[in-house]
Amino acid sequence: MATTPICAQLLGLSAAILSLLRPYGCEVVTRYAEVGGRVSLDCEIDHHFRYLYWQKKTELSAMFVNGLTNANELTILPEYINRSRVYEKNGTLELWDLKLSDTMHYTCDKVPEGGMASTLCTYHLIVTAEYTQPVLTTHSSDDGHLNVTCSSWGGSPRDDPQWRVFGEPNSTGLWKPMSAALQDPTDLYWNVTSTLTLICTQKLRISCAIGNVTSEELEICTQLFPFPLNVIVAIGVVAVLALGMLLCGIAQLLKRFCRDSNGQRARVEEMPLRTTPDPASSEETSFSSHVEGPREPV
């Protein structure tokens, strides 16, 4: 008894899901197609129309591509002559010899007899071109950093290369890749690069991928610095400073010691003069005063 409404609900639900999955209706359907290839965009029609037409749309404009009429022929946009057709039977738009510039939103619109135009379906067509196999290059800088650059070109849409590192990436320093992309203004193909900057602390194997094309693996950091060069320079500077300070300290100490021993000598010279006025001993002390360095007081 209670199962019937549940079944009805389930049927209703699956019908709703099916209608969502259908490639027409009012949602935007995204379609991918390869450059030079062919694509079919379907539109459900009922033949009660005066015009049925496909347009390509940007945010600012809509341009007629191709269409059907029950009265007379529609003029096809020159760039779509010989590479598009709309099937009378079902309204499907077929495009071939696809170009990157065909990447656009397309709508199927219907104008009924004596009625207003309405959009039956919208597609987002993305024309793709496969990137070349990425190439890895390395540049090491004076401060001990290593740049690894992944380059690939001639693809679309724009995409960032993805890095794969085998080994322990955590201990190797800076791991934020810098990506850049350049688009050819006429044929719209992209060149992309990504640069990883790191400090070598261990041997690593590395590769990069764009789309499903992967570079060859590269072994990096094969010659290791125990420390990055800037650390070595810093240690060197500190060592020189410390040595300098040490030498200054020793010089000061020596100076003070010399002054002290001079004072002692002076006292030594005075004492014999006062207690024993012996010229021989005084000569001996004055002779001894020529001897450099510390000496025991007499």
Ligand X SMILES: *[C@@H]1O[C@H](CO)[C@@H](O)[C@H](O)[C@H]1NC(C)=O
Q: Where on the chain is the footprint of ligand X (CB under 6 A)?
A: 42, 81-82, 87, 89-90, 92, 139, 141, 147, 153, 170, 178, 182, 184, 191, 195, 197, 212-213
Q: Which is nearer to ligand X, 112 or 154 (CB)?
A: 154
| Coil/strand/helix, residue 54 | strand
Work out how close the CB of 174 gets to ligand X at its nearest, in angstroms, rounded to a whole number: 9
Q: Which is nearer to ligand X, 98 or 268 (CB)?
A: 98
- The residue type of 133 is Q
From its phi and psi, is residue 108 left (phi > 0), alpha (psi between -120 and 50) or beta?
beta
Work out how close the CB of 90 gets to ligand X at its nearest, in angstroms, rounded to a whole number: 4
Work out how close the CB of 239 gets to ligand X at its nearest, in angstroms, rounded to a whole number: 27
290, 99, 292, 125: which is closest to 189 by C-alpha?
99
Q: Which is nearer to ligand X, 140 or 281 (CB)?
A: 140
| Coil/strand/helix, residue 1 | coil
Q: Which is nearer to ligand X, 141 or 286 (CB)?
A: 141
* CA 29 and chain centroid, separation: 30
Work out how close the CB of 50 gets to ligand X at its nearest, in angstroms, rounded to a whole number: 21
Q: Which is nearer to ligand X, 183 or 264 (CB)?
A: 183
Work out how close the CB of 26 gets to ligand X at its nearest, in angstroms, rounded to a whole number: 17
What kind and span of H or E run contains 259? helix 229-275
Q: Which is nearer to ligand X, 118 or 141 (CB)?
A: 141
* CA 51 and chain centroid, separation: 49
Q: Which is nearer to ligand X, 51 or 153 (CB)?
A: 153
Cis peptide upstream of residue 226 (ω within 30 degrees of 0): no
From its phi and psi, is residue 236 left (phi > 0), alpha (psi between -120 and 50) or beta?
alpha
Residue 288 CB partners (closer than 8 Å, separation 6+): 265, 295
Work out how close the CB of 78 gets to ligand X at its nearest, in angstroms, rounded to a whole number: 6
Gap between the Cα atoms of 163 and 156, Å rounded: 19
Q: How far is CA 191 from each of CA 64, 234, 280, rounded to the nearest angstrom? A: 32, 40, 98
Which residues are paired to 145 by β-bridges? 199
